[in-house]
Structure 1
Amino acid sequence: MNWIREIAYKLHLIKLLSILYRTRLLRFLIPVAIIVFVYLEGQKQFREINWGSMIHEFHHMRPFTIILLLSFSFLAVSVMSTYDLLIRRHFNLSIGFWDTIRYGWIANTSNNLIGFAGLTGAGLRTILYRNRNVPIGSIAASVAFLSTITFTGLSLLAWLCIIGIFPVQALLQAHPWLAYAMWAIALYLPLFVLFQRTSLFSKWFNRNQGQLNWRIMTASVGASFLEWFFAGMTFWLIGATFLPEITFANALGIYTIAAIAGIISMAPGGIGGFDLTAILGLQLLGFPPDKCAVILVLFRILYYIVPWLIGLMMAAFEFPINRKRTEQSDGSIMERALNFWQSVWGWPGQFGFIGEVGAWSLGKLVFASGVILLLSAATPGLLYRIHYTEQLLSFPIMRLSHQLTIIIGIMLIMLSRGISLRVKRAYYWTLFLLCAGSFFTLAKAFDYEEAIFLLIVAVLLWISRHRFYRLAIPVGLYNVLGWGLITLLIVYGYYLIGSQSHPAFLNHLPKRAHSAWLLDPSQHMIAAIFGLLVAWLILSLLYLFRPKPLAIGETAADEQSKLKGFLEKEQGNLLTHMLFTGDKSFFWAMDDQILIPYAKIRNKLVVLGDPLGPKSMINAAIQQFQQFADQFAVEVVFYQTTPDYLPFYHENGYRFFKLGEEALVHLDNFTLVGKQNASLRAVKNRFEREGFQFEIVQPPHDTLLLKKLSIISDQWLDGKHEKGYSLGWFDKDYLQMAPIALLKSSGDHIVAFASLAPGYDGSTTLSVDLMRYLKGTPNGTMDQLFISLLEWAKSQGYAQFNLGMAPLSSVGQSRTAIKEEKLARILFQYGGSWYGFVGLRRYKEKFSPAWEPRYLAYPSSVSLPLLLVELVRLISRHPNKNK
């Protein structure tokens, strides 16, 4: 198995790419680059903004105006649910009317803010519709159809700009490239009309229903037009609040071109491209930069952020309904009625299972809570509220509350990951910090809006307390570095906002009243650094005193004894003898009737072979083990599984990768007679003439023999360390577990040896385990050892002998094989320069074995290239380093 080490070197590039994939850096490189470009291009406009004046405008908004704008924003967002009503009607989806509206809000608000070319909305719709048992074919067709119509409304608005209804000439003259972008979007509508008449559209986007009739066509374009038109109306109403002179036509024209720029930028929510274009368009109309900035910030908050937060709260309660229980119900009113106290206290625990969408949403709400706390600390408070708070609390307490708000904000941001992964300890700490944060936001400047939001999130978290069951999650170096970078960037953002907004606001005031409360840049820097250090210190201490995520150690002696007793009544397999090496842990399922041996590598539990025990219990045992692993947020992988057990893995959602084939010699058919075995006969005759002797020694083995074998092993290793997991290694206690085959020269010197591994199947199967030989032995030494082993096993009544696996053998031969197996096939064919894959199979073919495939069963959420690298590390890991 030296191929393992060679593969490790060849897969370093795959490992690096997998790390990039896992950290999702590649997914964000283009949008981040565009945002940086937009910032550099828009520095002139940004420098002209009076941030103090902007904050002053926010502070003097009347509550009635905010409620009115927020209400219209909600109406504009609700209009987007016409998409979902359209596909519900067109594809006959079995979803209720209000469910459709709710799902549309969740998917559309997340898609608005996060974007990624509509993938966010498509993914959320898929999850939500699947929870209502909508067939996956209908979901795929509806999502694909929806992706083709979303830009038709913006295309129609672009035509209104082209014909002059919405004046945009000044903006196009300032940036001529926007004219090309506007024409590109405008041409989308006629191209869509032509495209929907093709067979390609009918097959892939309209579920073989042919071209769209004019009623559906009109409804599709109308739904898209309503989305973009009402969004533009929201932009106009917000603009008219601060700039009464702005006309409806000018506002819609600026919004249309800005929306096109945002789409071209490919950034989430069009951030950067949309904002810079909108500010430029408003400034070209002669409006002051600070009021333009207020309009953009308020539009982002009211149309994007607040609806998204509400969508997250909705999504937190979305979970698959217990269909089985519903079907068994007779539907009576009394049965459906719940006692109010039970519904409040026990809900939603009685439902048992809550989907991933809810946990993800709660995590994002907690993250948003942390950001809101930092923004609250970075921006100046309302002076009349500060004055009111000063009458109740002393100034030092207000400053202390300000600092604690920063610390709590940073901690909530870092704990949000634990909430998304449903960690119980993260739930308790987050609930405490949300309550504490709401108190300190009141104590620092009576910011009751932030306090109310934090308390709402805390209530949602408490209601969802039953979903937090995980004891711990694996935390690796990349996790720590990633969150360290995120918190540094967020704290740096806090410093930038605070250091600019406070002095600007102070300069904007007619009198320097309450100037003692406004912080200068150096104070913000100190507060940011101190808050970051304290937050990391507290979380580091919590991490140090946490329960161990999953303690993996050597198999204890009592577990070995339990294994021996188990094998006396249950059959093993070809890998069972590896369990006595001591580097694997045992999971006893189904009341100790099923044994699942595993080892841990990073965030995966790798099971060696198939579970042992009655087949009737295997499926339930796998699920029990998955639940055990899920408590620690680790995945379960099955290594070297056999074809007979594939249905069990398939039923539990696993994918498969063929590792190679096992060479099994049926001893009844083994013979040296015949022309094809002439080379083996020649080897046997030559070694017998030269006086070589074959011997099987039974345990217990004496110390002198093991010492001699140790010398041979050390010479064979030649300074390399032993491998483990699926391979045996030279360990005196382990070698005492089975017979050892010796090949001696005429001088009674041992030149080669092989330890044997029983199959624990009633003396039916025998395997070769550890094989070592001295340097300088004659050619054919291992051939002679194998010949002698096969003949001896046949004489002892064994039915088959296992020669071991040929890696990558017969992998990826089919034209329709998965791409990873096709790559493995190329490696098998052309990898002879650094490892003889083909040669190994040809060598074992000399003994006429039957080939049985071996597979890797892995969850769909696991990256296969990264998993292969981790398996290489697991097998190559020194046997004594199994933690």
Structure 2
Amino acid sequence: MAEIKRERPRLNALKLLSTLYRLKIVQILIPIAIIALIIWEGHAEFRRMDWTATLHTLRHLEPSRLLLLMALSLLAVASVSGYEFVLRRHFRLPIGIWTTFRFAWIANTSNNVIGFAGIAGAALRTYLYRSRGISVPTITASIAFLSTITISGISLLAWGDLVGLFPIDAVIRSHRWTLYAVWAIALYLPCYMLFQRTPFYAKWLNRNLPQMNVSTIAASVGVSVVEWALSGMAFWMIASTLLPDLPVRSALGIYTVAAAAGLVSLAPGGIGGFDLIALLGLQALGYPPEKTAAVLVLFRLMYYLVPWIIGLGMGAFEFTQDRRKDTETDTETDTETVDKSLNGWQRFWEFPGQYAWITEFGAWALGKLVFLSGVVLLISAATPGLLHRLRFAEELLSAPLMRLSHQLSVIIGLMLIVLSWGISRRIKRAYHWTLGLLCAGALFTFTKAFDFEEGIFLLLVAVLLYLSRARFYRLGARFNRERIAAWAATTLVIAYIYDVIAAGTVPPFLHRLPANRHLHLFLNPTEHTVAVATGLGVTWLLLSLALLLRPNRLVVRGASADDLDQVRGFLKTQHGNLLTHMLFAGDKSFFWACDKRVLFPYSVIRNKFVVLGDPIGDPTLISDGIQECQRKADLYDLEVVFYQVSPAHLPIYHENGYRFFKLGEEALVNLSTFTLSGKPNTSLRNVKNRFERDGYRFEVLQPPHDMPILDRLRRISNDWLKMRREKGFSLGWFEPAYLQESPIAVLLAPDGQEVAFASLAPGYDDCRTMSVDLMRHLAGTPNGTMDFLFVRLLEWSRDQGYSVFNLGMAPLSSVGEARSAMREEKLANRVYEYGGQWYGFKGLRKYKDKYHPTWEPRYLAYPRRVALPILLVELILLIARRPSKGREAKRRKRSDV
């Protein structure tokens, strides 16, 4: 009963942890489920659309009208910055007018496109304002206030729907559920006005900050009304361009209902819900499907996509990529302060702890702009040019040159789509390729059909890329088979979409032209298919050659013979650690820092640069060495993590921006106090006496070892493995060249045959520490065989003058037991408690406890931006990676990377 009582708090903690995980999943799954429902509901409607006719309609809009619609859309988007100016006045924020407007534009346009429930906007605002020295409580209060006030404007417009100011009967008849969405949004404003007068609102929002007075709230509501009204007017102006005689009241009514449906869905920009309701509402007024679809496409482009592109351009200049040491520590502290300053309700809006990706925003934004440039080129190639422009281009250029330009536009578009990944990863060679292709693509859009709009866009992206050239410093990045397959599939899908669009966008006026007149200026469907097939082939060929012949990549081949000799010489002047002997296994590569005074043994798994144990070398240079190692890995887009580090170096890792996960504890036996006397050691004493009485003998073989002995030990090893794979990296394995590096303890049966062995691993610390490495025995040996071997090893090590014997680590031992431990460590504690059927965690700890060791913790040190669950899986794969069969391949000469 007492055991059950002790277990209840842990079970309750597990239930709470699982509940929190479920809540996070629900927050993500609800919008996805609603979007899926909308797609299923509108599947037939979307299939009924003639999308090629829609694209043709958009292609032939008057440029002057487009400019007017764009100006109105940008004005509607700019009105959202009014919230920021109200908060700037209320909190007396020390930022200028242009900076306030720029921050508002970046945060709001990104939130419209990629933000679930305001998450993206909140994260961006937090980072931007922190970069200007604004306090965390002020940022928290402003974000919390914005999250509640922005809906007030659409709430007021919804009342206009309900009282008949804006007719919505046509939409309601199509989908009755939309009426509930309108009522829900309409009731928000009066509920908010009541809520903001409660003491809870003041406590939750202000936290010793200036109270949100009536004038601030009234001004914010006014901004919200202006924002939604201008957005609705932009929708009406765009719709009236394509749908003649559309009344403004009807357009605003449809817009309000569609916006309410989009808000209820929680999807970014109301995607799906807004579009379906707007389509149905406009079609209910008698307008054709292809025209209504064109309205939505144009509205999405002008009100969402183009402003977001402008925001990406602003963000590309706003966010720096250089992480200096002082800012790294400040960012870590600031983010922790944000976490602590938020209560539960604010965390829902703030999405704390997820800001690390924002530091990559500049390169990420440029990558998306390059991807969009490739799409623009393909759309330009898939849709026919305007006839008057084609005639003008034909007067200047020949038809074959125009067709060649078309073909090259397809190739360049596909290559830009693939290269956008390299731009996001800040790869220098991708920058040079992309800059050249953007300029070439702009030229070919002119020579193809005088499409100057696309050419200007490509040149603007090229200018942004050139101005940001200092960001691209990496020599390479890990480009594995999964990534290659993903990009091959992406280009195939995009090429298929291009072919479908191109085959259907034949201008309807062609049949009215005289025979053979100007028809040669347009590509037929067969020519489009040939163009995209050729484009795919050339793109894959060029990028494959670049991948195969690239000179700049981090090659990890293990240690050569010269590398190992260099390590031996280094260890004569520097102390090693408990994992140093693993370096001679040959599967790790070596990085030398601080003029070869600090050594980092490492291996690479996916995009992780995994260092085994603590760095070896001058203790005063460890921090500088870590920073040099980080810079080296960053050149190849790798994250440096440290596996099995000791507590002594944790402050140094923390100063360099690392977080920690406890892996377990290592059993260290103090040989000066080790004894078999006393009642607690009765079982060990009995085992030793029994084996000695039965004639078993213990010997320690010093290197070099004879091959016949190693062959006999290999048979023991194979019998112990029972066809299981050897592990590596942090564990030794049976390899003759590796076993030649240290003594081997063997247990001989009475007939003189070896029945068990254990290889030893010195600590390279002036004969202070000895560790056990491989431990193998034959099946059917008497109970207590390994106990006898361990007892004799401890006695032998003590007689040789060693003071500490390392029995190895007990994984997950004493992990996550504290009430306030990390949630990942609490989950690991559950694995330790109940994972005995997969691995004997408790049994291993109990077994080593017989020798009364001191337990010393071991940690995993990893950067904040690395996802811990994924990292743990990658480390398991790294350790389970099959070791190489021979050492000769590893000992071949290689250049130091």
Deviations 1:386-441 (A, max 9, x none): 00111122212211211211111111111111101111111111111111111111
Question: CA offset at residue 56 of structure 1?
Answer: 5.2
Structure 2 distance, partners of 1:44, 1:847, is 73
Q: 1:299 is matched with which residue? A: 299
Match 1:742 to one of 735, 741, 746? 746
Structure 2 distance, partners of 1:325, 1:558, is 34
Indicate the SS of the match to 1:741.
Answer: strand
Structure 2 distance, partners of 1:595, 1:50, is 62
After TM superposition, the structure 1 stretch with the greater mean CA deviation from structure 2, 356-365 or 545-554, is 545-554
Question: CA offset at residue 131 of structure 1?
Answer: 2.8
Contact 1:58 1:294 in 2 (8 A): no
Contact 1:202 1:208 in 2 (8 A): no
Contact 1:380 1:505 in 2 (8 A): no
After TM superposition, the structure 1 stretch with the greater mean CA deviation from structure 2, 441-450 or 504-513, is 504-513
Residue 514 (1) aligns with residue 515 (2): no
Residue 797 (1) aligns with residue 801 (2): yes
Structure 2 distance, partners of 1:597, 1:377, is 51
Structure 2 distance, partners of 1:522, 1:242, is 31
Q: 2:676 is matched with which residue? A: 672
Deviations 1:123-152 (A, max 9, x none): 322332333343444434433332222212
After TM superposition, the structure 1 stretch with the greater mean CA deviation from structure 2, 486-495 or 413-422, is 486-495
Contact 1:655 1:859 in 2 (8 A): yes
Structure 1 distance, partners of 2:198, 2:600, is 54
Contact 2:73 2:302 in 1 (8 A): yes
Structure 1 distance, partners of 2:133, 2:584, is 46
Q: 1:144 is matched with which residue? A: 144
Indicate the SS of the match to 1:380.
Answer: coil
Q: 1:491 is matched with which residue? A: 495
> Structure 2: which amino acid aligns with 1:658?
K
> Structure 2: which amino acid aligns with 1:389?
A
Indicate the SS of the match to 1:756.
Answer: strand
Match 1:591 to one of 567, 581, 595? 595
After TM superposition, the structure 1 stretch with the greater mean CA deviation from structure 2, 718-727 or 507-516, is 507-516
Q: 2:582 is matched with which residue? A: 578
Q: 1:248 is matched with which residue? A: 248
Question: CA offset at residue 303 of structure 1?
Answer: 1.7
Deviations 1:526-575 (A, max 9, x none): 33333223222221222121125310012011111111121111111100
Summarize the alignment of residues 530-549 of structure 1 with structure 2, pairs less than 5 Å apart: 530-547=534-551, 549=553
Structure 1's 374 and 750: CA in aligned 2 closer, same or farther, altered over 3 A? same
Contact 1:664 1:849 in 2 (8 A): yes
Structure 1's 665 and 591: CA in aligned 2 closer, same or farther, altered over 3 A? same
Question: CA offset at residue 880 of structure 1?
Answer: 0.7
Match 1:827 to one of 828, 831, 839? 831
Deviations 1:497-544 (A, max 9, x none): 222222546468899952333334343333333322322222122212
Contact 1:31 1:268 in 2 (8 A): no
Question: CA offset at residue 373 of structure 1?
Answer: 0.7
Structure 2 distance, partners of 1:560, 1:573, is 16
Indicate the SS of the match to 1:454.
Answer: helix
Deviations 1:144-177 (A, max 9, x none): 3322222121111111111121121222122211
Structure 1's 87 and 490: CA in aligned 2 closer, same or farther, altered over 3 A? farther
Contact 1:723 1:878 in 2 (8 A): yes
Q: 1:758 is matched with which residue? A: 762
Structure 2 distance, partners of 1:74, 1:855, is 52
Query: What RMSD, in angstroms, separates the aligned Cα atoms of the two structures?
Result: 2.9
Contact 1:196 1:211 in 2 (8 A): no
Structure 1 distance, partners of 2:323, 2:881, is 46
Deviations 1:182-238 (A, max 9, x none): 111112222323333455544544445597432222123222222211111212233
Contact 2:639 2:863 in 1 (8 A): yes
Residue 178 (1) aligns with residue 182 (2): no
Question: CA offset at residue 632 of structure 1?
Answer: 0.9
Contact 2:610 2:640 in 1 (8 A): yes
Residue 652 (1) aligns with residue 656 (2): yes
Contact 1:359 1:419 in 2 (8 A): yes
Structure 1's 693 and 279: CA in aligned 2 closer, same or farther, altered over 3 A? closer
* Number of residue equivalences: 833
> Structure 1: which amino acid aligns with 2:379?
L
After TM superposition, the structure 1 stretch with the greater mean CA deviation from structure 2, 791-800 or 426-435, is 791-800
Deviations 1:620-661 (A, max 9, x none): 211111111111111111111111111222222222211110
Summarize the alignment of residues 56-67 of structure 1 with structure 2, pairs less than 5 Å apart: 58-63=59-64, 65-67=65-67
Deviations 1:18-41 (A, max 9, x none): 9xx9xxx98995476356436514
Deviations 1:83-138 (A, max 9, x none): 22233344454433211110111121222233322222223223323333434444
Match 1:42 to one of 32, 40, 45? 45
Q: 2:236 is matched with which residue? A: 236
Contact 1:738 1:755 in 2 (8 A): yes
Indicate the SS of the match to 1:71.
Answer: helix
Question: CA offset at residue 715 of structure 1?
Answer: 2.0
Contact 1:379 1:501 in 2 (8 A): yes
Structure 1 distance, partners of 2:306, 2:272, is 19
> Structure 2: which amino acid aligns with 1:768?
V
Indicate the SS of the match to 2:318.
Answer: coil
Deviations 1:229-286 (A, max 9, x none): 1111212233344456333322221211121223334443233432332233233334
> Structure 2: which amino acid aligns with 1:375?
I
Question: CA offset at residue 298 of structure 1?
Answer: 2.7
Q: 1:707 is matched with which residue? A: 711
Indicate the SS of the match to 1:811.
Answer: coil
Structure 1 distance, partners of 2:839, 2:269, is 50
After TM superposition, the structure 1 stretch with the greater mean CA deviation from structure 2, 290-299 or 412-421, is 290-299
Question: CA offset at residue 73 of structure 1?
Answer: 1.9
> Structure 2: which amino acid aligns with 1:849?
P
Contact 1:35 1:271 in 2 (8 A): no
After TM superposition, the structure 1 stretch with the greater mean CA deviation from structure 2, 801-810 or 455-464, is 455-464
Q: 2:73 is matched with which residue? A: 73
Structure 2 distance, partners of 1:832, 1:760, is 35
Residue 166 (1) aligns with residue 166 (2): yes
Per the normalisation by structure 2, the TM-score is: 0.88
Contact 2:713 2:757 in 1 (8 A): yes
Q: 2:17 is matched with which residue? A: none
Structure 1 distance, partners of 2:704, 2:263, is 75
Q: 2:311 is matched with which residue? A: 311
> Structure 2: which amino acid aligns with 1:295?
V
User: Which blocks of at least 5 consecutive residues in structure 2 are unaligned?
Assistant: 1-20, 328-357, 891-897
> Structure 1: which amino acid aligns with 2:87?
I
Residue 55 (1) aligns with residue 56 (2): yes
Contact 2:727 2:882 in 1 (8 A): yes
> Structure 2: which amino acid aligns with 1:142?
S
Per the normalisation by structure 1, the TM-score is: 0.89
Residue 864 (1) aligns with residue 868 (2): yes
> Structure 1: which amino acid aligns with 2:40?
F
Structure 2 distance, partners of 1:615, 1:838, is 35
> Structure 2: which amino acid aligns with 1:500?
G
After TM superposition, the structure 1 stretch with the greater mean CA deviation from structure 2, 486-495 or 683-692, is 486-495
Indicate the SS of the match to 1:434.
Answer: helix
After TM superposition, the structure 1 stretch with the greater mean CA deviation from structure 2, 75-84 or 693-702, is 693-702
Structure 1's 581 and 272: CA in aligned 2 closer, same or farther, altered over 3 A? same
Summarize the alignment of residues 120-131 of structure 1 with structure 2, pairs less than 5 Å apart: 120-131=120-131
Aligned-pair identity (%): 57
Question: CA offset at residue 317 of structure 1?
Answer: 0.8
Indicate the SS of the match to 2:520.
Answer: coil
Contact 1:572 1:759 in 2 (8 A): yes
Structure 1's 846 and 619: CA in aligned 2 closer, same or farther, altered over 3 A? same
Residue 771 (1) aligns with residue 784 (2): no
Q: 1:10 is matched with which residue? A: none
Q: 1:460 is matched with which residue? A: 464
Match 2:440 to one of 436, 439, 462? 436
Structure 1's 502 and 842: CA in aligned 2 closer, same or farther, altered over 3 A? same
Residue 83 (1) aligns with residue 83 (2): yes
Summarize the alignment of residues 285-364 of structure 1 with structure 2, pairs less than 5 Å apart: 285-320=285-320, 355-364=359-368
Summarize the alignment of residues 585-664 of structure 1 with structure 2, pairs less than 5 Å apart: 585-664=589-668
Structure 1's 787 and 443: CA in aligned 2 closer, same or farther, altered over 3 A? same
Q: 1:117 is matched with which residue? A: 117
